[in-house]
Amino acid sequence: MADFKFTPDQDAAIASRANMVITACPGSGKTTVVVEKIRNEVQSLPDYKGVIGITFTVKASKELKQRCKKGACDLKSSYFGTIDHFCLSEIIYPFGARLIGHSSSAVECKLFDEVPQNLKEQIPTISGYTGDIKTGIYSTFEQDIKTLYKNGYVLLELLGVMANHILNASLACQNYFRAKYSSLYVDEYQDSSEPQHMLFLKFIDLGLTGVAVGDTQQSIYAWRGSNPEYITSLTAQPDVFEHHIININHRCHPSITNYSNRLFNPTCDLISTDEIRVHRWSYQGTQLNVSEQVSDSIQRIIEKGITDSYSKIGILVRNNISLEFLEQKLKVPFRIFDEDPLAVRNTRITNLFASLLRYRLIEDYRINDVIETVVRYIKVQEQQVVNLRRLISDVIGKEYGELEESIIKISEGIFDCVVSDSDKELIHNICVDSKLLKHYMPINENEVQVMTLHKSKGLEFDVVYHLDLYDWVHPKRRVVQGSWDVHYDNWEQELNLHFVGITRARKHCILVTSSNRLNYQHQVKNGNPSQFFDLPGLEGLYT
């Protein structure tokens, strides 16, 4: 990176102090631009002020913070984290009681499914609701929200709705943000939901500078309530938001960039290249046969020196069932990145469990990383830090048989609570299952990385095997009774997902299909190729 030179478009985005939208293609260096903007900005701020950096995942927020801190850069009073943690730690926990009412115990964030059944019976409006989660529903849910809060719960699904209500109604909350923060940076804005979008606009009304970064072609979370129309609505307001376009892909081989761009525009200009590195391979048999053949191909790639490590090879699939097929038949060292059971539950207890496991299992995961997790949920006074460190350090050296008990004891001590039976069962299952424990261990340089397309967002590999390119599977189709026409679940989202998969590849992208496929019932079906193969403008761009 020593010789890295910013492009004119990147320089313009970095230099401007206005509200802006940065639309950036994969591999364009958008994180580098955001890092440079933040580092420049915080230098001029007093110690009590900072910026807000919102990212889509905890991993992304840690990376952003570390890159901003490089060279001992003082980030002052800045906040880095996910939107959920931001809503909880900066809005709901400190200001919620004034508007919602006081809780009988420490407030805990839970998914609706994890709320005790007897309490669900006391929140009939929320329990019976099946519509979209938007800010306007707060008044409808107000009584139920207060009932939950009084019993020590906030719903993960309603964090954005609650945060908007508190920010709009509490002058103390508004004054806090005006005094403490100068700017708000939101990455992956195309994956914002309506409540997140409304929060962003409110902060701009309060006088903070807003920077939204995203790419509508990488919008893949519509099923979570995300909608790319929100970032599009910002670019449609040139009097409020400057629009900076960063569209040079520095990651992918030119032939991969050409293929991926033609998915959306069959007549777009092509980058000059002497070599085609997008490959379409069709095998005989089902996904099980594909797994064996891909194993042989990977061995050849390593032998030829196309990449020097198994971990620089990614196998990306559309569905979780495909992970099972790969697990059965892959013949190379591999690691499957499936759903992290603690992240799925996503409460303060389970997030602390995950942090303690990483502290025990990852050499360069520090005690301060665990403390960072703790302070998202409770205030820690300076005089309490020594005792907190002593408590956390109990996990070090514990063998797997003792690990579960130690983690529960530490968590109860830190949060002054009793860990629920369901959380105890979850940490027990993880501690006795070597496959589940892998979620909290460092990546082995000697393992191919296997995951769903959704999980691959933000990652990159020298070589990508993009599997599951079958009719019915990707793009996903649905049956409509009485109709013989082809109906897709969501063509646009599926195409975006395909685009994300292809653009994870630096050197080679291999698009894989086969003569047959196994469905969810493990029945053998014809493996007709994906409709993505028939898109106009792709001829001559693959081997």
In DSSP notation, 159-219 reads HHHHHHHHHHH-HHHHHHHHHHEEEEEESSGGG--HHHHHHHHHHHHTT-EEEEEE-GGG-
- Residue 156 reports pLDDT greater than 70: yes
What would the pLDDT profile of 371-420 be if each residue is shown by its tens digit? Answer: 988 887 777 888 889 999 999 999 998 987 899 999 999 999 998 889 98
pLDDT of 105 reads 65
State pTM to two decimals: 0.85
> What pLDDT, on the 0 to 100 scale, is given for residue 225?
75
pLDDT in tens, 488-526: 989 999 999 999 999 999 999 999 999 999 998 899 999
Torsion over CA of 162, 165, 166 and 169, rounded to 10 degrees?
Answer: -170
Cβ-based neighbours of 117, under 8 Å, separated by 6 or more: none
Give dist(CA 176, CA 43) in Å, integer: 21
Q: What is the pLDDT of residues 432-454, one digit of tens each?
A: 988 889 889 887 778 999 999 99
The answer on pLDDT for 143 being more than 70 is yes
Between these two residues, 62 and 412, which has the higher pLDDT value? Answer: 412
DSSP per-residue codes, 122-149? T-HHHHT--S---GGGHHHHHHHHHHHH
Q: Higher confidence at residue 46 or residue 397?
A: 46
pLDDT score recorded for residue 182: 98
Give CA separation, 135 vs 112, 142, 168, 442, in Å.
18, 12, 11, 39
Contact between 68 and 50 (Cβ < 8 Å): no
Q: What is the mean pLDDT of residues 349-376?
A: 91
Q: What is the pLDDT of residues 176-186, one digit of tens each?
A: 999 999 999 99
Q: What is the mean pLDDT of the chain?
A: 92
**pLDDT tens digits, residue range 320-348?**
999 999 999 999 999 998 878 888 777 78
Amino acid type, 340: D
Q: How is residue 480 written in tokens?
A: 């409509």
Task: Give the per-residue pLDDT at 525.
Answer: 95
Q: What is the pLDDT of residue 104?
A: 64
Question: How far apart (Å, rounded) are the C-alpha atoms in residues 25 and 16?
Answer: 20
- Across 410-435, b (16+ Cβ under 10 Å) vs e yields bbeebbeeebeeebbebbeebbeeee
Are 126 and 155 within 8 A, CB to CB?
Answer: yes
CA 163/CA 169 separation, integer angstroms: 10
Evaluated on CA atoms 315, 320, 322, 325, the torsion sign reads: positive
Q: Using CA atoms, how far apart are residues 58 and 56, in angstroms rounded to an integer?
A: 7
CA-based nearest residue to 529, from 472, 486, 465: 472
56/241: higher pLDDT: 241
pLDDT at 127: 93
Q: How far is CA 233 from the centre of its chain?
A: 22
Q: Is the pLDDT of residue 53 over 90?
A: yes
CA dist 310 and 333 (Å) reads 8
pLDDT digit string, tens, across residues 290-305: 999 999 999 999 999 9
Q: What is the pLDDT of residue 1?
A: 40
With 50 as the cut, is the pLDDT of residue 2 above it?
no
Nearest to 297 by CA among 307, 405, 470: 307
CA dihedral over 103, 109, 112, 113, signed as positive or negative? negative
Read off the pLDDT of residues 27-44 as tens digits, 9 standing for 90 and up: 999 999 999 999 999 999
Output 318-322 pairs: Cβ under 8 A, ≥24 positions apart. Answer: 318/452, 318/453, 318/467, 318/468, 318/473, 318/474, 318/476, 318/497, 319/452, 319/468, 319/473, 320/452, 321/518, 321/520, 322/287, 322/467, 322/468
Give the mean model confidence (pLDDT) for residues 351-363: 94
Is pLDDT at 66 greater than 70 in this prediction?
A: yes
Cis-peptide into 475, omega within 30 deg: yes
**Cα dihedral 205→208→214→220 (10° resolution):** -60
* Single-letter code of the amino acid located at 127: S
Question: pLDDT above 70 covers what percent of the chain?
Answer: 99
Q: In the prediction, which pLDDT does 3 show?
A: 52
Q: Which residues pair with 243 in a beta bridge?
A: 21
Q: Are strands 516-518 and 524-526 parallel, antiparallel or unpaired?
A: antiparallel
Contact 33, 163 (CB under 8 A): no
Is residue 81 pLDDT above 50, yes or no?
yes
Instruction: Compute the distance between CA of residue 516 and CA of residue 529 in angstroms, rounded to an integer.
Output: 10
State how far Cα 401 lies from the chain centre.
Answer: 32
With 70 as the cut, is the pLDDT of residue 358 above it? yes
Tens digit of each residue's pLDDT (9 = 90 or more) over 450-488: 999 999 988 999 999 999 999 999 999 988 888 888 899
Structure tokens at 253: 């081989």
